Amino acid sequence: MNAALKRRFIEQIKVMFGAEPKKPALIADSALKAHELKRMTNKNDLQAAKAHMRAHQETSNKWRNRRWVTLILANLLFVVSFYFDIQILEGALTASRFIGFHLIDLNSALQVMLAHKHIITNLLIGTGTVLVLWILFGGRTFCSWVCPYHLLAEWAEKIHLWLVKKKLVTDAPVDRRLRTMFWVIFAVLAIVTGYTVFESISPTGIVSRALIYGPGLALLWVFALLVFEVFFVRRAWCRYACPIGLTYGVVGIISPLRIKYTLEGCFHEGDCRKVCLVPHVLDTVIKGRAVATEVPIGPDCTRCGLCVDTCPTGSLKFDVKGLSKLM
């Protein structure tokens, strides 16, 4: 990894914790040449190339459809296992057992150990299994590919954007550092109260348990969150409050699976940032921001694939670190 990419990697981690993306101070020579060529390109030629690419672009929802199917099937497996008592996937997303293997959500395990103020050995096996799984697939992949609330929030976002387009509501972003603050607050509450406060209000756990064991009053809280996201702040919980996303983002720092951006073919039309569930991770696609000709997207990326589906030039693709060079 060259110096520019190393610095970029550190900046991506800062952005995950709430820092605002900024123009890089160090850019590799290869990227500087690519940026210069783009500036020298005749504007009419560039517009013609964009128009040609858009005219021949095939609309694709391949990765979105795969993700929705995976998410629904994963949660239905809990329901089917409980309803028919077949003991394939028992429990809920917070803590479960898959064919005898214990699986414990990393953030939930952390909350429990903070509340009990010591490391609970029985949690380590299940936590270790989940840790390895999400290191391989990218931490925040959990959010877009497994979390049931994420899917509800995604649909609520579509309604919000439609209302914005009709000028019935306004799109009001919030300081992303709030998520880090909430992570600390919930950790402190667990230590001080000896109770996993976050688990009692986590929409991920509430929706998961409601699907499996039946609805309860806690769903009113989930409904209130969705209403707030529709009319006030899009994806408010996932972007600005949920500590699960930050916990899994930290795991994703060392994940080999990521989205990779290639500078040369990009027209910087911005469609990818419009559909991205966490658009701050795609600041590198802004004209002049790429520090190298190939840049991995940061650990806060949910690997949802929406940008891959949308990119007309294939400049954004799924990639496994180290494998692409062997192919």
Alpha helices in the chain (DSSP H): 3-16, 29-40, 43-55, 62-84, 106-116, 121-137, 141-145, 148-165, 177-193, 197-201, 203-213, 219-231, 236-240, 243-251, 271-275, 306-310
Tokens at 6, concatenated? 């190393």
Q: pLDDT > 70: what percent of the chain? A: 92
Does residue 326 surpass a pLDDT of 50? no
- Average confidence (pLDDT) over 258-285: 92
> CA–CA separation, 22 vs 230, rounded Å?
29
pTM of the model: 0.90
Tokens at 230, concatenated? 């529709």
pLDDT at 325: 54
> CA–CA separation, 208 vs 93, rounded Å?
6
pLDDT at 313: 87
pLDDT at 327: 41
pLDDT in tens, 206-255: 999 999 999 999 999 999 999 999 999 999 999 999 999 999 999 999 99
- Average confidence (pLDDT) over 7-11: 91
pLDDT in tens, 106-131: 999 999 999 998 887 778 888 998 99
- Average confidence (pLDDT) over 174-195: 96
- Average confidence (pLDDT) over 127-152: 94
Tokens at 270, concatenated? 């911005």
Three-class SS of residue 128? helix
Tokens at 317, concatenated? 């693709």
Does residue 37 surpass a pLDDT of 50? yes
> CA–CA separation, 106 vs 146, rounded Å?
14
> CA–CA separation, 249 vs 302, rounded Å?
8
**Which of 78, 302, 109 is CA-nearest to residue 199?**
109
> CA–CA separation, 153 vs 235, rounded Å?
6
pLDDT at 55: 53
Strands 95-98 and 101-104: antiparallel
Between 99 and 298, residue with greater pLDDT: 298
Task: Beginning with the edge strand found earlier in the chain, give each strand of the sheet holding 89-91 in spatial order.
Answer: 89-91, 95-98, 101-104
- Average confidence (pLDDT) over 89-117: 90
Lowest pLDDT segment from 40-54, 143-157, 292-306: 40-54
Average pLDDT, the chain: 90
